[in-house]
Amino acid sequence: MQTDAIPLSLKYKIKYPDEFIDAVKRGEILATKCRNCGAVYFPPQRDCYNCGKSEMEWIKVSNEGEIMTYSIVTQKPQGFEEYADYIIGIVKTKDNINLMAWIKGQPKVGARVRLTTDGVRIIGEVLG
């Protein structure tokens, strides 16, 4: 397939804890919360940037949220050329966490979404 992109190779590794990966496989989204000061982190962190302690506990992120902004991806990055156009959005959850999700349904800023996963990615399904 002919594309007008320059081949690009990005190599980096994000090591998510197994607890997080296992939750995504179950359709759940986890964050970490500092036992000392209560700061909440998504993506999960081992150390608290707020108080400097490393006393985190896992918390379940609300599966209700609202689309803050979104982009329809028509120019796909390398490796995604064969995908149909897709929508990436920033969703603010009911518990005030901003996360990136693949949006299913008709996107609209302010639309309510139900958060789930497809086992690999976080999905925001537009409600009603």
In terms of C-beta distances under 8 Å and separation of at least 24 residues, what long-range contacts does 20-29 make, across chains too? 20/44, 23/60, 24/117, 24/119, 24/120, 24/121, 24/122, 25/117, 25/119, 26/117, 27/116, 27/117, 27/119, 28/60, 28/61, 28/63, 28/117, 29/60, 29/61, 29/63, 29/99, 29/115, 29/117, 29/122
CB of 44 to Zn ion, least distance (A): 13
- Using the minimum distance from each CB to Zn ion, give the nearer residue, 57 or 85: 57
CB of 52 to Zn ion, least distance (A): 7
- Using the minimum distance from each CB to Zn ion, give the nearer residue, 34 or 123: 34
- Using the minimum distance from each CB to Zn ion, give the nearer residue, 37 or 127: 37
CB of 28 to Zn ion, least distance (A): 23
